[in-house]
């Protein structure tokens, strides 16, 4: 069976408890090879591979640079699991399924009710690019769950989307690679209240506040109380 590495872009900063518990969840429930931290490496992280990158742009530009760096690195597996540091796998999966959020046009309409901004603009421009490339009703892959990525295909997608300032790289790649998959609602929990998830949730994601101060954060910390192989023996 093919063993996929995990690639996770990490922003600069000494404290990242979401990453700590994400690593614990992946170690427990997500079969993988090596873990590649791209960007900033916390002092407490152990047993992971590191690809340093300069983080001088917006958060969107920084994660795109991290993706390009991972896909260009010869030692990263040709297909890998692309994760963020706030994605938690709550139950064991044998292989990561392909998942999407439904048509981009529908997700775009939802975000448009909440105002405008660079993220929505990038969603629209990514959809328009896909339509120009022959994808009349593209799917959104902007979910807060791990995604299987093939290096060469992602590099080709990033090249095609190089003029999009806030490119939705998951969506661009997912449609160009014809990933398909099953539709789910996004698993991001934005609030402190105990709603929107339960003990049967396979995947969860949090905001910094909902992780630190919310019911969901306490639930995740209770689920993974023990140090995993990706942490030093003593917190620093």
CA within 13 Å, CB half, 180: 0
Q: Please report the pLDDT score of residue 7 as a whole number.
A: 98
CA-based end-to-end distance of the chain: 37
**Confidence class of residue 72 from pLDDT cuts 50, 70 and 90?**
very high
pLDDT (average), residues 14-32: 95
Mean pLDDT value across the chain: 95
CA 36 vs CA 6, 45, 51, 96, 234: distances in Å:
6, 11, 7, 17, 21
pLDDT (average), residues 208-218: 97
At what angle are helices 59-72 and 118-132 packed, to 10 degrees? Answer: 50
Contact yes or no for 230/47 (Cβ under 8 A): yes
pLDDT (average), residues 164-172: 97
Contact yes or no for 87/93 (Cβ under 8 A): no
Q: Please report the pLDDT score of residue 236 as a whole number.
A: 42
| Helix or strand holding residue 175 (H, E) | helix 169-176
pLDDT (average), residues 141-149: 98
pLDDT (average), residues 18-34: 98
pLDDT digits (tens, 9 = 90+) for 90-125: 999 999 999 999 999 999 999 998 878 999 999 999
Q: Please report the pLDDT score of residue 116 as a whole number.
A: 80
pLDDT (average), residues 7-28: 94
Q: Please report the pLDDT score of residue 81 as a whole number.
A: 98
Q: Please report the pLDDT score of residue 234 as a whole number.
A: 61
122: left (phi over 0), alpha (psi -120 to 50) or beta: alpha
Query: Is pLDDT above 50 for 73?
Result: yes
Domains of the chain: 5-223 (3.90.550)
Q: Please report the pLDDT score of residue 13 as a whole number.
A: 82
pLDDT (average), residues 39-48: 96
Q: Which of 102, 142, 94 is closest to 120 using CA atoms? A: 142
Tokens coding 54: 């300069």
Residue 229 gets which letter from DSSP? T
**Confidence class of residue 1 from pLDDT cuts 50, 70 and 90?**
low
Q: Give the list of residues 6+ apart from residue 24 with CB closer than 8 angstroms, or none.
A: 224, 226, 227, 228, 230, 231
Backbone torsions φ then ψ of 16, nearest 5 degrees: -150, 75
Q: Please report the pLDDT score of residue 233 as a whole number.
A: 73
């Amino acid at each position: 069976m093919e063993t996929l590495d995990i690639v996770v872009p990490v922003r600069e900063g000494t404290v990242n408890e979401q990453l700590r518990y994400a690593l614990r969840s992946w170690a427990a429930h997500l079969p993988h090879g090596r873990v590649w931290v791209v960007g900033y490496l916390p002092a407490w992280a152990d047993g992971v591979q590191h690809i340093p990158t300069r983080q001088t742009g917006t958060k969107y530009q920084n994660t795109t640079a991290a993706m390009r760096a991972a896909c260009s690195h010869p030692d990263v597996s040709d297909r890998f699991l692309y994760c963020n540091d706030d994605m938690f796998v709550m139950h064991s999966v044998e292989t990561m399924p392909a998942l999407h959020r439904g048509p981009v046009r529908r997700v775009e309409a939802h975000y448009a009710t909440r105002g405008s901004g660079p993220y929505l603009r990038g969603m629209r421009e990514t959809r328009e690019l896909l339509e120009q490339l022959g994808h009349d009703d593209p799917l959104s892959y902007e979910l807060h769950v791990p995604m299987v990525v093939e290096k060469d295909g992602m590099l080709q997608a990033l090249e095609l989307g190089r003029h999009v300032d806030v490119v939705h790289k998951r969506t661009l790649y997912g449609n160009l690679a014809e990933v398909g998959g099953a539709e789910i609602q996004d698993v991001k929990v934005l609030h402190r209240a105990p709603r929107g998830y339960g003990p049967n949730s396979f995947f969860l994601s949090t905001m910094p506040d909902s992780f630190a101060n919310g019911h969901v954060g306490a639930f995740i910390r209770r689920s993974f109380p023990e140090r995993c192989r990706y942490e030093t023996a003593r917190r620093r």
